[in-house]
């Protein structure tokens, strides 16, 4: 397959950081064609929204990606097939034939009842399921959009009457059904056709991410951990080789997410707890693993300080988590839970911390 055109790369850059877009493009292309994404299209996606979806499908096809579309009616599937006829080879197909159509480079259009989507996602081993509706992300009863939901810890509260509008509670139940049916790792996004590309190609997304929280194991030092895998994770996350003397400094705690998909390393210094590393593997970005690690960290540490390079793409997220920060040339120094009189010493300590990468 030829590399994407300059126009496509410019479009990807317009919806997020170019590096993010290219990362997700490479990850999606590495999947089996039928496993890239299953997009479940609500019956109310009509008119301008349906046309926006068709344009997005043309764009994805130009990138060599073939999402499987689960549509609520045969009429909707036939309309999409006609719309795509001149640019993208869409094909109306039964569920059992979706994988073969995707592997042949066509976009499968599967008329299926919404109740059948979890089974279809399981059969295709879909890594991402998008519930595409007219109104975008889930919102709380007061109108606040919900960016991420961990069904393990938040489902009961959000599915209670009044927590979300009734249509959104029903959508959340559909997302939970997909997660429950999947024997493999999968995330579910709720968004609209107007934000589909940003949802697919950026870390922050543009809808509501529904997923199961990663199991976080806490280790009191390097102990029996596989240092080679941790080094590989850190180097993958930061794009730099890890210095050999990194292992010379003792770690007070290492938080490990899943099967070495993310990690946080905390060192004890005379100034308090120093977050030496927070790393999420490239393939796991956008899945909420960073949030899982952060929750475990702040559960155990009332105060922390850390730093990151100014070009770090998660710097805006760090700003949301900290109580204060200073910009110091190449570095940003952050802290939380510290008394004001301790802040100057912590800044000095972060400035002088060893460079690991």
CATH of domain 6-211: 3.40.1160.10
Q: Is the pLDDT of residue 308 over 50?
A: yes
Interior/surface letters 173-197, b for 16+ CB within 10 angstroms, e for the rest: ebbbbbbeebeebbbbbbbbbebbb
What are the tokens at 262? 């993310």
Q: How many CB atoms lie within 10 A of CB 10?
A: 11
High-pLDDT (> 70) share of the chain, % = 93
Instruction: For residues 177 and 163, give the distance between their C-alpha atoms in angstroms, rounded to a whole number.
Output: 19
Phi, psi of 217 (to 5 degrees): -100, 140
Domain spans of the chain? 6-211, 216-351
Task: Tell me what pLDDT residue 190 has.
Answer: 96
Q: Per-residue confidence at 167, pLDDT binned at 50, 70, 90?
A: very high
Instruction: For residues 66 and 178, give the distance between their C-alpha atoms in angstroms, rounded to a whole number.
Output: 20
| Contact status, residue 148 vs residue 288, Cβ threshold 8 Å | yes
Which architecture characterizes domain 216-351 according to CATH? 3-Layer(aba) Sandwich (3.40)
Instruction: For residues 106 and 89, give the distance between their C-alpha atoms in angstroms, rounded to a whole number.
Output: 5
Q: Is the pLDDT of residue 13 over 70?
A: no
DSSP bridge partners of 326: 333
Q: How many CB atoms lie within 10 A of CB 314?
A: 17
Task: Tell me what pLDDT residue 281 has.
Answer: 84
What are the tokens at 17? 């950081």
Q: Is the pLDDT of residue 3 over 60?
A: no
Average pLDDT over residues 88-95: 89
Instruction: State the residue for tokens 């006609």.
Output: 82
The DSSP line for 34-97 is: GGS-EEEE-TT--HHHHHHHHHHHHHHHHTT---EEEES-HHHHHHHHHHHTTTS-EEE--GGG
Average pLDDT over residues 190-219: 89
Average pLDDT over residues 75-85: 85
Whether 6-211 and 216-351 share one fold: the answer is: no
Q: Is the pLDDT of residue 4 over 60?
A: no
| Contact status, residue 201 vs residue 15, Cβ threshold 8 Å | yes
């Amino acid at each position: 397959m030829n590399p994407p055109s300059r126009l496509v790369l410019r479009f990807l850059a317009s919806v997020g950081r170019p590096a993010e877009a290219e990362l997700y493009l490479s990850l999606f292309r590495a999947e089996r064609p039928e496993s890239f994404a299953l997009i479940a299209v609500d019956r109310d996606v009509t008119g301008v929204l349906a046309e926006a979806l068709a344009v997005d499908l043309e764009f994805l096809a130009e990138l060599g990606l073939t999402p499987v579309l689960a549509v609520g009616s045969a009429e909707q599937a036939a309309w999409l097939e006609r719309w795509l006829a001149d640019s993208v080879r869409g094909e109306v197909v039964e569920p059992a034939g979706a994988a073969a159509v995707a592997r042949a480079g066509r976009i499968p259009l599967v008329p299926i009842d919404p109740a059948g989507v979890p089974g279809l996602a399981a059969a295709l081993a879909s890594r991402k399921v998008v519930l595409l509706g007219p109104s975008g992300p889930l919102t709380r009863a007061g109108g606040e959009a919900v960016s991420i939901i961990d069904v393990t810890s938040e489902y009961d509260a959000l599915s209670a009457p009044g927590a979300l509008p009734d249509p959104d509670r029903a959508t959340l139940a559909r997302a939970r059904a997909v997660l429950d049916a999947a024997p493999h790792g999968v995330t579910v996004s709720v968004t609209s056709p107007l934000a589909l590309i940003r949802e697919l190609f950026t870390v922050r997304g543009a809808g509501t991410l529904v997923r199961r929280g990663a199991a976080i194991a806490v280790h009191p030092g390097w102990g029996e951990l596989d240092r080679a895998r941790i080094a590989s994770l850190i180097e993958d996350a930061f794009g730099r080789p890890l210095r050999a003397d990194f292992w010379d400094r003792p770690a007070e705690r290492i938080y490990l997410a899943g099967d070495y998909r993310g990690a946080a390393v905390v060192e004890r210094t005379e100034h308090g707890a120093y977050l030496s590393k927070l790393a999420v593997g490239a393939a796991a970005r956008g899945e909420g693993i960073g949030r899982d690690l952060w929750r475990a960290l702040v559960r155990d540490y009332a105060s922390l300080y850390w730093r990151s390079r100014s070009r770090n793409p998660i710097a805006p997220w760090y700003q949301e988590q900290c109580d204060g920060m200073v910009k110091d040339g190449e570095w940003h120094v952050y802290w939380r839970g510290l008394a004001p009189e301790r802040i100057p010493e912590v800044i000095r300590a972060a400035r002088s911390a060893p460079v690991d990468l």
